Amino acid sequence: MSKTKEQLISSLIRQVEPLKHDLRFANNLMVKRKDTVSSHSWRACLLAMCVDTTADSNKVIKMLVIHDLTELGKGETQALGFRNEKSKIRDDNDDDLSKLEYVTNEMRDLWREFKEQKTREAIVAKAIERLESNWTAIESRRAIENPAHRQKTIDYITGFLGNDLDLDMIIRQQLDEIRNISGQLDFID
């Protein structure tokens, strides 16, 4: 007996429930307060609502809602600098959301667009996702006080400078916060 659309939606919501509890930065001892996958997505969406960009904000927010569905079933998410980045990128690129019981065509299209990073919306969504991740490191302070981790945090976002003027202002604000914590006034151009 096949399920109705309503039953499939209900199943999807139950299926993604672990993301409310799965930790991020799980293996980074410099970050004591661990976020969850869903809290990360929520803060990224909130940030997207606050930033005036030339991108379609509705589409950006939708991308941010679904961008970490690929974390489902993986347990705790490893932190930048504490994971194999090539493996993470390959796993995300290989993921087609097929492990989810119900996925709309819009969700698949948005996920593909986010992965390909060819549209303004995808680039803005990725930058916002990275900004939110960086703020977790900034809030911990210890991660930013560590020179190697601080540089990884800086590198994680500076590649997005020049894509959107309003987003650039937020990136520069974050870089200023990193500079203020580190006490180094000349490590970023």
Q: Please state the rounded mean pLDDT for residues 135-149.
A: 87
Q: What are the residue ranges spanned by the domains of the chain?
A: 5-182
pLDDT band at 10 (very low <50, low <70, confident <90, very high): very high
Q: Which two tokens stand for residue 142?
A: 């210890």
- For residues 15-24, give the mean pLDDT: 90
pLDDT of residue 26: 62
Fold of 5-182: Hypothetical protein af1432 (1.10.3210)
Least Cα distance to 85 among 93, 96, 97 occurs for 93
Confidence band of 120 (pLDDT split at 50, 70, 90):
very high
CA-to-CA distance for 100 and 7, rounded, in angstroms? Answer: 13
